[in-house]
Structure 1
Amino acid sequence: MTAASIVDPMFISGASVWPLVEGGKGVAASNGTSAGAWAAAGGVGTISGVNADLIDDNGEYVPLIYKGRDRKARHEELVEYSTKGAISQARIAHELRQGEGRIHLNVLWEMGGCERVLTGVLEGAKGLIHGVTCGAGMPYRLAEICARHEVHYYPIISSARAFRALWKRTYHKFGDWLGAVVYEDPWRAGGHNGLSNAESPDQPENPFPRVLELRKMMREMGLDQIPIVMAGGVWHLKEWMNWIGNKELGPIAFQFGTRPLLTQESPIPQAWKERLLGVAPGEVALHQFSPTGFYSSAVRNSFLNELYERSERQVAYSDDPSDADGRTVFLPYGRSNHGVYLTPADHARATAWMVEGFTQPMRTPDGTLIFVAPDRARQIRRDQADCMGCLSHCRFSAWKDRDNYATGHQPDPRSFCIQKTLQDIAHGRGDPIDNQLMFSGHNAYRFGQDPFYKGGFIPTVKQLVQRILTGE
């Protein structure tokens, strides 16, 4: 431990740096400017490679205006733009880091065209990116792609079992390029979370035994000195003193996703930054509305509340009367003589919702109807039709980025277009901030309690890193 810091430097992606990693936050929420500043402060800066903004040679943002008339054409435009965008952000980060720190690229395995984007960026930004973090799925081919381009890879997992599967299947062939394993707490991290079907979203588990289990498994694989990056729920390093230097856990680094949002270099709009300062305890919700099918964590605002309410106005139906299920009461809607059969109790509920103005039933893939207002139904259908293929599989639009470009399932109106809302909130356009998806870690309420942010103070990245190194 040095006199100036509560932690010592660590060898990450080929250099000795502070074991502080900037989390890569989705669409335009961490970019070359924030990553370059984090690296310049001596840590590991992370560019989001998820539909990154394209910056031209004059430093101007070039928005993507779709010309394609169908999803496949728009998907191709998005892949091309995303590749060029991430390369432009890598160049910015490289210039700003001034030879300090490391630069990583973050991608989501379940984003549309992930392998193509990742390969294109590593080829186009050769020598500018030192590592790749990847989660949201099981990125079996991550190790092979990174090894081929001679950059380190950092799988994001939420259980030892997940890493075992990755290692046994492919990673053991490319062990020399494994930079670290990122353990992301599925109950506390922001954005998409890796909860398994065996885990309850309402019963958070202590991360220490889960990470210790991961370390024991890594030792069996000969990975004793490969760092584990703790992500999700990290605020003050002084709260992790039993982790730092712990011989059982081995080398530990820490990832910060939410705190870097509130910095001067953070690219998110001022309104978003101001909203973070007022997040209340318990206001971040772990929900399952994402079109990815994963759990995710976001501020419980009007956007999320409408999704909760949409699903609460939901009943099971049958197309024909069913005495066995008790669905014997006919509910007409749509075309003449068209409708479905509900139980008497559900029919009464549906009738009450329609009286309240939620007159448009919409079918879900699970044999249920939700009830929404006509303008909401039109918006849902419009968003589904405008799909640009940002995910490998989208339950909202039923898009798939390969084969016949369809999942084979009915589009799910209980979800939403994630690309639309994340682009809007990141660029300060569209609906007000409270009516957009606002990803956040569950510790965001601490902005309002931490004296560092007193009076609405927003630090530079350098000031934040220096503050974190003190233990605060």
Structure 2
Amino acid sequence: MAFKGLEPISYGGREVWPLIEGGKGVSATNSESSGAWAAAGGIGTVSAVNADSYDAEGKIVPQIYDALTRKERHEQLIAYAIDGATEQVKRAHDISGGKGAININVLWEMGGAQQVLEGTLANTKGLVTGVTCGAGMPYKLAEIAAHHGVHYLPIISSARAFRALWKRSYHKVADLMAAVVYEDPWLAGGHNGLSNAEDPLKPEDPYPRVAALRDTMRKEGVAEGVPIVMAGGVWFLREWDDWIDNPELGKIAFQFGTRPLLTEESPIPQGWKDALRDIEPGDVLLHKFSPTGFYSSAVKNDFLFDLIRRSERQIAYSKAEDGARCVQLDAGVRGKNFWVSEEDRAKAREWVAAGYTEGLKTPEETIVFVTPESRDMIRKDQADCMGCLSHCAFSSWKDHDNYTTGRLADPRSFCIQKTLQDIAHGGPVEENLMFAGHAAYRFREDPFYSNNFTPSVKQLVDRILTGD
């Protein structure tokens, strides 16, 4: 008996638990985890973001970008992504044993998202039940789903965002919209959908926001049977007791992103799993260093602290003498067209004396100060860009038109493809971006994980269904 009589839902022609595995970025959710989640009766989610493919011996194929131009490397990336996602879906389907359902997840703001989605779905006919998609405004998601005969589940963070998508596109393919995923922008891991009108430091209660979403859905004529999936901060179902069978909210399902990271089938390396057990409240930071321009949530570690401190070593400048900027900068830069305040010049001299001798310009007419080693790494990473995003602030790449954003590359950011591939394949957890939801500290507190216990996905799903 499931918690509070939680009942299966009909999805893709079969009965499944209303429990969805979050599709976590680069190789953090793959065929093993999603296939096992589906085998346990839920909806498993293969990440179609630069997924791994395998050689004839079953070894992971290294993604090497050796083409000379960014555009050619971008084409290599798309080919890797389609091959990898195709392989992961096929393996997940086999592991599921025909139970549950398999979704795929893409970020609309990833480079070549539409091509990757089209290519993967064309290669996996009959194996994918639905597509979850967020990180942007995926207007074409419904059209792509209709073309391939699959369901779609848009990921949004406000009723306003859903209404815009519905009005522009989704109302034309209403019958294939299987659910709407509400991802809490203050609690979810990875990239978050905070708008400019929302304060990252003032979290809002998800209940009224989801109630407003349901109200919008009803006003737009969305079928009452379309569930809203609560994502972000979900740990114990018993904590959401008043959401289940609630007439105001309608049908509710739940997405689990962080808890499935610590399972036997989770593909993340052991160092990442071990680190999850040590996270304390406040150790996950909502920040805006991502080259996507979105806020995102990651564990505070040396990698993140380096980005924080880099931005703190920053001063504004003018190209000509201007009011308070009345002295020429003589530290960290070459040339005479850097006018700063006397106070900022003193700061720059201190940073240079401390070893941060290289001044790098940003798109906002500021200068950040870094070590020569950091400067060399930043420039190499920018030069090696393979176009993993539709728009990249770090490298100024754009995946269409003239392939540039037209803005100065931003040294305050980082190559997200490089760091996510590295941590997912065994790189040092302190030296890479480690995504996690803000509830990750609960691994320390939840007795289920005591004595270093790591559950199988089946054990986790069974545990979740009890309310814990």
2:238, 2:228 → 1: CA distance?
Answer: 18
CA 1:335/1:308 → structure 2, altered by over 3 Å: closer, same or farther? closer
Give the conservation status (yes or no) of the 8 Å contact 2:53–2:61: yes
Partner of 1:77: 76
Partner of 1:55: 54
* Aligned with residue 454 of structure 2, among 441, 455, 458: 458
1:398, 1:210 → 2: CA distance?
Answer: 35
User: What amino acid does structure 1 have at the position aligned with 2:128?
Assistant: I
Partner of 1:441: 437
1:239, 1:67 → 2: CA distance?
Answer: 50
2:202, 2:129 → 1: CA distance?
Answer: 37
Partner of 2:111: 112
2:420 pairs with 1:422: yes
TM-score (norm 1): 0.97
Give the conservation status (yes or no) of the 8 Å contact 1:383–1:417: yes
SS in 1 for 2:182: strand
Partner of 1:292: 292
1:286, 1:293 → 2: CA distance?
Answer: 13
Give the conservation status (yes or no) of the 8 Å contact 2:3–2:467: no
Partner of 2:24: 25
C-alpha displacement of 1:225: 1.4
CA 1:330/1:35 → structure 2, altered by over 3 Å: closer, same or farther? same
C-alpha displacement of 1:332: 2.8
Partner of 1:348: 346
2:262 pairs with 1:266: no
1:280, 1:312 → 2: CA distance?
Answer: 25
Partner of 2:463: 467
Give the conservation status (yes or no) of the 8 Å contact 2:26–2:421: yes
Give RMSD over aligned pairs. Answer: 1.2
Give the conservation status (yes or no) of the 8 Å contact 2:276–2:440: yes
CA 1:305/1:336 → structure 2, altered by over 3 Å: closer, same or farther? closer
2:272, 2:193 → 1: CA distance?
Answer: 25
Identity %: 61
Partner of 1:306: 306
Gapped runs of 5+ residues in structure 1?
none
C-alpha displacement of 1:55: 2.3
SS in 1 for 2:367: strand
User: What amino acid does structure 2 have at the position aligned with 1:453?
Assistant: Y
2:414, 2:225 → 1: CA distance?
Answer: 42
2:289, 2:429 → 1: CA distance?
Answer: 18
2:295, 2:265 → 1: CA distance?
Answer: 29
1:130, 1:242 → 2: CA distance?
Answer: 29
Q: In the TM superposition, what whole-angstrom CA distance separates every residue of 1:421-467 from its partner, at most 9, and x where no partner exists? A: 000000013xx211110000000000000000001111000000000
Q: In the TM superposition, what whole-angstrom CA distance separates every residue of 1:40-66 from its partner, at most 9, and x where no partner exists? A: 000000000000111245432111122
Partner of 1:386: 384
Q: In the TM superposition, what whole-angstrom CA distance separates every residue of 1:5-64 from its partner, at most 9, and x where no partner exists? A: 751111223321001000000000000111000000000000000001112454321111
SS in 2 for 1:156: strand
C-alpha displacement of 1:309: 0.3
Q: In the TM superposition, what whole-angstrom CA distance separates every residue of 1:374-432 from its partner, at most 9, and x where no partner exists? A: 11011100100000000000000000000110000000000000000000000013xx2
Give the conservation status (yes or no) of the 8 Å contact 1:317–1:367: yes
User: What amino acid does structure 2 have at the position aligned with 1:184?
Assistant: E
C-alpha displacement of 1:193: 0.2
Gapped runs of 5+ residues in structure 2?
none
After superposition, residues 72-471 of structure 1 pair within 5 angstroms as 72-223=71-222, 224-322=224-322, 324=323, 326-332=324-330, 337-338=335-336, 340-429=338-427, 432-471=428-467
Give the conservation status (yes or no) of the 8 Å contact 1:55–1:89: no
SS in 2 for 1:285: strand
SS in 2 for 1:61: coil
1:146, 1:327 → 2: CA distance?
Answer: 55
Give the conservation status (yes or no) of the 8 Å contact 1:6–1:471: no
CA 1:336/1:143 → structure 2, altered by over 3 Å: closer, same or farther? closer
1:350, 1:446 → 2: CA distance?
Answer: 42
Give the conservation status (yes or no) of the 8 Å contact 1:29–1:266: yes
Count of aligned residue pairs for this structure pair: 467
2:413, 2:284 → 1: CA distance?
Answer: 18
CA 1:455/1:439 → structure 2, altered by over 3 Å: closer, same or farther? same
C-alpha displacement of 1:337: 4.6
CA 1:334/1:143 → structure 2, altered by over 3 Å: closer, same or farther? same
1:168, 1:361 → 2: CA distance?
Answer: 47
User: What amino acid does structure 2 have at the position aligned with 1:211?
Assistant: V
CA 1:6/1:374 → structure 2, altered by over 3 Å: closer, same or farther? farther
SS in 1 for 2:454: coil
Give the conservation status (yes or no) of the 8 Å contact 1:56–1:88: no
Give the conservation status (yes or no) of the 8 Å contact 2:332–2:352: no
CA 1:338/1:460 → structure 2, altered by over 3 Å: closer, same or farther? same
2:384, 2:336 → 1: CA distance?
Answer: 28
Give the conservation status (yes or no) of the 8 Å contact 2:2–2:465: no
Give the conservation status (yes or no) of the 8 Å contact 2:332–2:369: no
2:128, 2:200 → 1: CA distance?
Answer: 35
CA 1:61/1:3 → structure 2, altered by over 3 Å: closer, same or farther? closer
TM-score (norm 2): 0.98
User: What amino acid does structure 1 have at the position aligned with 2:38?
Assistant: A
2:335, 2:55 → 1: CA distance?
Answer: 57
Q: In the TM superposition, what whole-angstrom CA distance separates every residue of 1:331-372 from its partner, at most 9, and x where no partner exists? A: 135786545111011111111111111110000000100111
1:34, 1:126 → 2: CA distance?
Answer: 21
CA 1:166/1:336 → structure 2, altered by over 3 Å: closer, same or farther? closer
User: What amino acid does structure 2 have at the position aligned with 1:390?
Assistant: C
C-alpha displacement of 1:70: 1.4
CA 1:469/1:6 → structure 2, altered by over 3 Å: closer, same or farther? farther
User: What amino acid does structure 1 have at the position aligned with 2:238?
Assistant: K
1:13, 1:422 → 2: CA distance?
Answer: 32
